[in-house]
Structure 1
Amino acid sequence: MSRLDELIEKLCPDGAEFLTLQECTQKVKNIKWKSYSGNDKKYIDLSSVDRDLHCIMETQNINSDSAPSRAQQIVQTDDILLGTTRPMLKRYCMIPETYDNEICSTGFCVLRANTEIVLPKWIYHNIATTDFFAYVEQNQKGASYPAISDASVKAFSLPVPPLEVQCEIVHILDSFTLLTAELTAELTARKKQYEYYRDNILTFDTTIKHVRLGDICSVITKGTTPKSYTKTGVSFVKTEAFDGAKIIPNKLSYVDEETHTTFLKRSMLEENDILITIAGATIGKCAIVPKEILPANTNQALAIIRLAKGNSPKYVMYLLQSDLMKRYMQKNIKGSAQPNLNLKQLNDFIIPLPPLNVQERLVRVLDNFEAICTDLNIGLPAEIEARQKQYEYYRDLLLTFAETGSTLMTDRQTDRQTDRQTDRQTDRAERN
């Protein structure tokens, strides 16, 4: 019998008590910017949280003068953040010590565990489950801009066995995520290296011509949101279909042919159009339209950038992803609950414009380097994805067992887990 089975038999043989998140958590305070005169705070916006890695990737520094209206909630180490705007994007994470006493957006529900009842990581693992997001999907409101209220999130009921049982389950689940965390840290370091390299390679002195983005475009326009969608038909691109700089066909929406050619005719897409999100939490995300999804259209949260001939779409997209664009947006978008980048600001964005052959050479270099970091078929991302699926399987298994009060881990499964842990330790030793 495993230690977990022994604890279950001893402490909760008849099942676990169910409590709502409201009953398991504490209140969170808001900052009073009018009376605040301390150092700059790190601001965790919705876009700060990586949807796949579930960690904070980057933040911006804010103060009482520059803070957006949504920058309100004071977070503490071990708080759990859940993005409540477009919640099925699954933006959730746990606050590490480096972000203790910093600020997060009101677009997050902050879950601060009452540690006399529940472990912070018990909440974290429970809100990652399939059951929790099925509940979220049922309780979110709004079709074009879905959201779920903090009250609805905290009404979710979860099993709360004794703390010793929680601790053992968390320990098992953490053993699955340990290597993932190490791999993620390595991947994050590579991404930062790539971003540093990209930003430097795209920095030019004054001998290179600089132009307004609008000067090299035949079109910069916004998309249009249709009145309804269909199950099949003409491709319709939303930001949710973006995966890095690619558009994933199985994440597309659809409209009928008549809607595409009449109501949406001014925003029909062409091959190599650049799409950039100009509103909301994902502002600044870019992708290039591939031939395979055409005919296609897009909504008003995305701008369409169509370059004049003689310019490389990928070169311009890399510039839009670079620190140059981030600094431009920080300068021009301030104090808005719903940040927006308007078409005039896009047109006025100043970019370096070397000759086309130089643009294409830089694209080849950056493409090769980016593939190492982001291609899901090779290297670290593929291994992280495999480990994540393994964790998800055992997470749902163990947390379901807590609901029934009877272990679903057989001795054979426990032996397999031990073997996997030994394999991981051997792998790490060989790599070192």
Structure 2
Amino acid sequence: MSKLDELLRELCPDGVKYKKLVDAVSIERGKRVVRSQLSIRGKYPVYQNSLTPLGYHTDYNYNANTTFIIVAGAAGEIGFSDKAFWAADDCFTVVCPENVLNRYIYHLLLNNQNQLASKVRKASIPRLSRSAIENLVIPIPPLDVQREIVRMLDSYTESVVELQRRLTAELTARKTQYSFYREKLLDKTEMKALMVEIANLGKWSGGKTPSMAEKKYWESGTIPWVSSKDVKQPILSDTIDHITNAAVDEASMTVYPAGSVAIVTRSGILRHTFPVTYIPFETTVNQDIKILVTKEGISSRYVSYALQAYGENIRRTTKKQGGTVDSLDFQKVLAYKIPVPPIDVQDRIVNVLDNFEKICSDLNIGLPAEIEARQKQYEYYRDKLLTFAENGNTILSRAEQSRAEQSRAEQSRAEQSRAEQSRAEQSRAEQSRAEH
């Protein structure tokens, strides 16, 4: 029997009492704030219509450890501040009496967030009424029970945050290591290679946009159409938009072969990044993209890595000045030189970098999936912990507790296996580099 079950049996033999939220706590509306009151010297975050602070105030109207509810804009969002803050008039704050823990109310409101969201009035600015909040019926167990529930849920939340921190740190370290090896392997001062103008790597082409007014060019399209919003990963997996065979035939769209390399030459992202991607499937492109089909003796994968390695210097030296949209002087891009070693050396370099790319890609995919799984698990147990039967018992039967412990053990084994696999892949990559 868990400690929580023991407390419920001892303190709530006749069940847990339910109350309207307004009868259990004080619900107060925040105070209006104008932008002129915000200060860069302000110490206290100002919450208005989202969980992101509007700015900072030199004063506060609510103490630390207080729950608040957004009632306009991102209506129905629940926040908790661990330090003093300013709640604006688009927030309701929950002020608890001595027999109610604010952190307990926070978890409870999160558990009822869907119910609150269903009562949000849809308009140009979504709004949640005071009555929808006040009439929410909630369980109010004794203080010791609340403390144990908060301890359990906070502990689980902390484990999710810690997992996210560790996975993010590992991904950042891998990306840093990958960039180091890429730049080291492609360093033109150390490589025995010819310096070749980008223009001479193969055939460069541009694209265009089929008429958006012609539905037959877009509806149920299956042919990838690359635009700047797609070029965010070193290897493209798919495009957001697709066109039809009718667009290819009637709008004279060119379909480029698998294994092409695309760069963005016109987009706001060029203010800080030079987007490059390798495209492992046939595709079409729009007018903001230039695409390369490499000639014999030049690996397109090698070129994509080289353009990534020299991307910042290319962007800085070829970017056009002025203009409403950031763009590159493509003639200057074509004149830029990169090192091109013999094809067998290109292939060995690609093999090393592909290993590192796979490690980073696996982490990139696994991180959000792992966090989402943990978040869903937290929501499941939160619902269970905050759902009381009439006799006062919580949900966690022995079988469910056993499943929870088994799930944690499996997650621990999965994390250990992932770490071992990552170390093995790193070792293979370093061995491949040594052979090179």
Q: TM-score range by the shorter chain?
A: 0.5 to 0.7
Q: Does residue 391 in structure 1 map to residue 367 in structure 2?
A: no
Q: Give the corresponding residue for 1:90.
A: none
* 1:256 maps to which of 234, 239, 244: 244
Distance 1:368 1:180 in 2: 24
Q: CA deviation at 1:396?
A: 4.6
Distance 1:154 1:316 in 2: 54
Q: Does residue 297 in structure 1 map to residue 284 in structure 2?
A: yes
Contact 2:253 2:284 in 1 (8 A): no
Q: Does residue 178 in structure 1 map to residue 162 in structure 2?
A: yes
Q: CA deviation at 1:190?
A: 1.9
Are the structure 2 counterparts of residues 23 and 352 from structure 1 closer, same or farther at C-alpha, using a change threshold of 3 Å? farther
RCO greater where, 1 or 2, for CA within 8 Å and sep 6 or more? Answer: 1
Of 213-222 and 195-204, the range deviating more from structure 2: 213-222
* 2:277 maps to which of 281, 287, 297: 287
Distance 2:383 2:222 in 1: 40
* 2:315 maps to which of 314, 318, 329: 329
RMSD of the TM alignment (CA)?
Answer: 5.9
User: Normalising by the residue count of structure 2, what TM-score does the alignment of the two structures yield?
Assistant: 0.53
Q: CA deviation at 1:212?
A: 3.3
Are the structure 2 counterparts of residues 252 and 194 from structure 1 closer, same or farther at C-alpha, using a change threshold of 3 Å? same
Contact 1:279 1:301 in 2 (8 A): yes
Residues 285-312 of structure 1, C-alpha deviations (whole Å, 9 max, x = no match) = 4332224xx3x32334533233343322
Distance 1:362 1:225 in 2: 38
Residue identity opposite 2:245 in structure 1: E
Contact 1:221 1:267 in 2 (8 A): no
Identity, % of aligned positions: 19
Q: CA deviation at 1:198?
A: 0.6
Q: Give the corresponding residue for 1:362.
A: 349
Q: Does residue 272 in structure 1 map to residue 259 in structure 2?
A: yes
Distance 1:342 1:391 in 2: 43
Q: How does 1:90-109 map to 2 (within 5 A)?
A: none
Residue identity opposite 2:201 in structure 1: I
How many aligned residue pairs are there? 329
Q: CA deviation at 1:202?
A: 0.8
Q: CA deviation at 1:383?
A: 6.0
Distance 2:373 2:31 in 1: 28
Q: How does 1:28-427 map to 2 (within 5 A)?
A: 169-205=153-189, 208-224=193-209, 226-227=211-212, 228=215, 229-238=218-227, 244-249=233-238, 253-263=241-251, 265-277=252-264, 278-281=266-269, 284-291=274-281, 294=282, 296-322=283-309, 324-330=310-316, 340-342=326-328, 344=330, 347-348=333-334, 350-357=336-343, 358-374=345-361, 376=362, 384=367, 387-397=370-380, 412-421=399-408
Contact 2:233 2:277 in 1 (8 A): yes
Contact 2:320 2:326 in 1 (8 A): no
Contact 1:247 1:287 in 2 (8 A): yes
Contact 1:233 1:254 in 2 (8 A): yes
- Secondary structure of 1:218's counterpart equals strand
Contact 1:288 1:314 in 2 (8 A): yes
Q: CA deviation at 1:319?
A: 1.9
Residue identity opposite 2:180 in structure 1: Y
Q: CA deviation at 1:393?
A: 2.1
Are the structure 2 counterparts of residues 230 and 209 from structure 1 closer, same or farther at C-alpha, using a change threshold of 3 Å? same
- Secondary structure of 2:297's counterpart equals coil
- Secondary structure of 2:284's counterpart equals strand
Distance 1:364 1:373 in 2: 15
Distance 2:19 2:31 in 1: 21
Max Rg structure: 2
User: Normalising by the residue count of structure 1, what TM-score does the alignment of the two structures yield?
Assistant: 0.54
Distance 1:273 1:204 in 2: 23
- Secondary structure of 2:340's counterpart equals coil
Distance 2:175 2:92 in 1: 32
Q: CA deviation at 1:196?
A: 0.7
Are the structure 2 counterparts of residues 13 and 196 from structure 1 closer, same or farther at C-alpha, using a change threshold of 3 Å? farther
Residue identity opposite 1:210 in structure 2: M
Distance 2:208 2:356 in 1: 32
Are the structure 2 counterparts of residues 188 and 225 from structure 1 closer, same or farther at C-alpha, using a change threshold of 3 Å? farther
- Secondary structure of 2:356's counterpart equals helix
Contact 1:223 1:304 in 2 (8 A): no
Q: CA deviation at 1:195?
A: 0.9
- Unpaired segments ≥5 residues, structure 1: 33-71, 75-111, 140-148
Contact 2:315 2:328 in 1 (8 A): no
